[in-house]
Structures are given as C-alpha cells and as structure tokens.
Amino acid sequence: MHDTAASIVWQPLQEADMDAVGAIAAQVHPALPERLEVLAEKQRLFPAGCRKLMVEEAICGYALAHPWLLAGPPALDAFLGGLPATPDCLFVHDVAVLPEARGHGAGAAFMAEAEAVAVARGWPAIGLVAAYGTARLWRRFGFQETGELIPPDKLAAYGAQACYLIRRLGRGPGGIAAAGFSRPAS
C-alpha cells in the first residue's frame, strides 16, 4: 500500500460487502465469533450506522452501529429482531480494522461519523462494549464506564475484560472535540 493515511475512507456498508465483513471478523475477533447473518441483520436494520473501511480498492475494516437503549447492550451473536421504537443511544456493536490499516485515524474518523448520526437523530449518547481490554482506547474518545450494574450474562459473552461504556454527546467534557479529535471536513 502506498500512502495509507491518505487513502483511508469510510463508505456505506452494502449487503454485498457482508462476505468481506465475515472474513475480517474471523481474523480480528477469533475469540468472539458471530454468525454472519447476525452481523448482516445490523446492516439491514440500520444502514446509516454501518460502514466499510476502504484502503485503495480493498475493504480493510468495518463498523456496525445501530439505535439502542442505554439500559444495556444487546447480546453478542444474537439477532436484534428489530430496533427499539424510542432509542436513546447509538450502540457501536463493532469497529474492526485489519492490522495494515491501523494507526492512521480510522477509529477517530468513524467515531466522528457515529456522533453525526446520533446527533442528527437527537440521541444523547453512544454506547459500546469494550472487549479485549480496550476500555483505555475508548476513554480517549470520551467514553466512560456507566456505573450502572449490567447483568453479568450480558457481558460474559464479550470476554472477561469486557465493560460497558457510554459517551454523552456534546462539545463539552467527554465529546470528541474535547478529547483532541476533530470532525473531518465535509
């Protein structure tokens, strides 16, 4: 790859991209397998929150996000069956980036897009489960532990180090701008 940073771009994830998503998920998340049909349901239910990371002409990552409730994350590898009638957050189910595309700001760029999706719909927060001990990374984006008790069975499937985090939206403390990240120019 040439100038990777200059050639990274998030694009809308299409149904036709799901085989690539499955292959990336198998490589990035071997300890947290999910059925391709479960991942594809998220794209079908809320395409506005689902992206593919393109580096030159190749899909090198994906992100899946959908409306949800702050009361707790959906179960891993389980169908949603539908979206809440009155969601109060955007839930980031997964951001997976292949090693060759890491370190060039793809995560910050996706989080700026996720914030824009949530703000446009009036949702006051973004939630996610930090797996593999990545809570420190997500705190850089303004996420904080909820302090709420999430039933252990809700997080157990995400691994021993998993924790549920939320980020209140806005430009004040905890927002992307406050964390040193800026929204890309439109």
- In the chain the domains, ranked by start, together with CATH numbers, are 4-168 (3.40.630.30)
Q: Over the stretch 88-104, which tens digit does the pLDDT of each residue have? A: 999 999 999 999 999 88
Give the pLDDT score at 184. 32
Give the pLDDT score at 182. 32
Give the pLDDT score at 124. 96
Give the pLDDT score at 130. 92
Query: 141 pLDDT exceeds 50?
Result: yes
User: CA 71 to CA 89: how far, in whole Å?
Assistant: 10
User: CA 186 to CA 180: how far, in whole Å?
Assistant: 18
Q: Which helix (H) or strand (E) segment is 53 a member of?
A: strand 51-55
Instruction: Report the chain's mean pLDDT, rounded to a whole number.
Output: 86
Judged by average pLDDT, the poorest of 39-48, 81-90, 160-169 is: 160-169
Mean pLDDT of 24-48: 96
Rounded to a whole number of angstroms, the distance between the first and last alpha carbons of the chain is 25
Q: Which of 77, 89, 96 is nearest to 35 (CA)?
A: 77
Query: Which residue reads 């489960």 in tokens?
Result: 129
User: CA 78 to CA 100: how far, in whole Å?
Assistant: 29
Strand bridging mode 89-97 / 125-130: parallel
38 Cβ contact partners less than 8 Å away, ≥ 6 residues apart:
77, 78, 79
Q: What is the pTM of this model?
A: 0.86
**pLDDT > 90 fraction of the chain, expressed in percent and rounded:** 66
Residues in the chain, overall count: 186
pLDDT tier at 149, thresholds 50, 70, 90: low
What is the dihedral sign for C-alpha 171, 176, 180, 185? Answer: negative
